[in-house]
Amino acid sequence: MLPAMARASVPAPTRRLRFRPFTREDRPLVLRTFEDPAARRFYPDAGTEGWADRWVDRQIKRYAEEGHGLWVVERIEDGECVGDCGLTWQRLGEERVLEVGYHLIAAHRGRGHATEAARACVDHAFRVLGAESVTSLVDLENLASQAVAARVHAGRRPEPVLHAGFPHQVYETRRSEWRATPR
């Protein structure tokens, strides 16, 4: 469990990005994030009836119960939404791990936004939430996400696992490693 003082906070803005909680009005944003075939490959249920509503409701519930979840990521310069990024608890075998996850709208991929946002979330996990470690669980076929995770977790060697019935790579940064990593 994370300290109570960390409840309902968002990561600090980065040079180009800011974070905010999802609201029920963000349903179209969720649909836009997962509308292209590259995103749907890893989220095949995206776009089905009620899926976006459940996605947003799940984040709102996470904020209330855990003090964090996925947050909407916007460009500071113009308020344009680029996708989402945040911290969620995931099951990894018998273990419960804190994961940094990210999903970008197709038009905003390849610009470093996922790496920048994920680094801010990892920093938030350690500085504000008091986490002992942060992981990234990445589908073995999602090469773009693996590249982001490798940058965020400072090139640490991933471990192969079976997660949700599919082969994944697990990247992990522990608090002691994070402190030693120059930013």
**What are the structural domains, with CATH classification, of the chain?**
4-130 (3.40.630.30)
Name the least confident of 74-78, 121-125, 175-179.
175-179
Structure tokens at 45: 């249920």
| pLDDT value at 162 more than 90 | no
| Best CA proximity match to 33, nearest among 81, 99, 88 | 81
Q: Which amino acid belongs to residue 80?
A: E
**159-163 and 166-174 strand pairing:** antiparallel
| pLDDT value at 181 more than 90 | no
Share of the chain above pLDDT 70, in %: 93
Predicted local distance difference test score (pLDDT) of residue 1 = 44
79-89 tens-digit pLDDT:
999 999 999 99
> What does pTM read for this prediction?
0.90
16-60 tens-digit pLDDT:
999 999 999 999 999 999 888 888 888 878 877 899 999 999 999
In contact, 20 and 49? CB cutoff 8 Å? no
| pLDDT value at 6 more than 80 | no
Predicted local distance difference test score (pLDDT) of residue 3 = 42
What are the distances in angstroms from CA 43 to CA 86, 102, 157? 17, 13, 25
Q: Which amino acid belongs to residue 36?
A: D
In contact, 116 and 12? CB cutoff 8 Å? no
Predicted local distance difference test score (pLDDT) of residue 47 = 76
Predicted local distance difference test score (pLDDT) of residue 179 = 72
| pLDDT value at 183 more than 60 | no
94-111 tens-digit pLDDT:
899 999 999 999 999 999
| pLDDT value at 114 more than 50 | yes
| pLDDT value at 182 more than 60 | no
